[in-house]
Amino acid sequence: MNIQVKFFASLREKLGIESTSIDTRTGITIREIWDQVTSEDYPVNTLCAINMDYAKPDDVVSDGDEVAFFPPVTGG
C-alpha cells in the first residue's frame, strides 16, 4: 500500500524531509509510519493528520492516504 507523508514547519527543518512516499504493509499506524520514515523518537506533542483531518498516533492508515506531521501550534 502506498502512503504520502508530509512534514511541516520546524519538523520539516529538523528532519530535513518535506515529503516522501512509502510502500508499506496494511494496518500500519501513524506512529509506525513516523518510525519507518525517521530515525527520531516521536515527539509527544506532535500533531498528525490523515487526509487533512486531525488524527491520533495510533490511528491506522489506508492505501492512498496522506499523513501529515505538524509541530504544536503556538500563539501570541
Residue 66: pLDDT band with limits 50, 70, 90:
very high
The amino acid occupying position 10 is S
Residue 6: pLDDT band with limits 50, 70, 90:
very high
pTM over 0.85: yes
What pLDDT, on a 0 to 100 scale, did the predictor assign at position 46?
A: 94
Confidence check: pLDDT of 73 > 80: no
Tens of pLDDT along 17-46? 999 999 999 999 999 999 999 999 999 899
- What residues are paired with 23 via a beta bridge? 2
Question: How is 23-71 classified by DSSP, letter by letter?
Answer: E--TT-BHHHHHHHH-SSPPPTT-EEEETTEEE-TTPBP-TT-EEEEEP
Integer CA distances (angstroms), 52 to 40, 49, 61, 70, in order: 23, 6, 13, 11
* Nearest alpha carbon to residue 56 among 34, 37, 36: 34
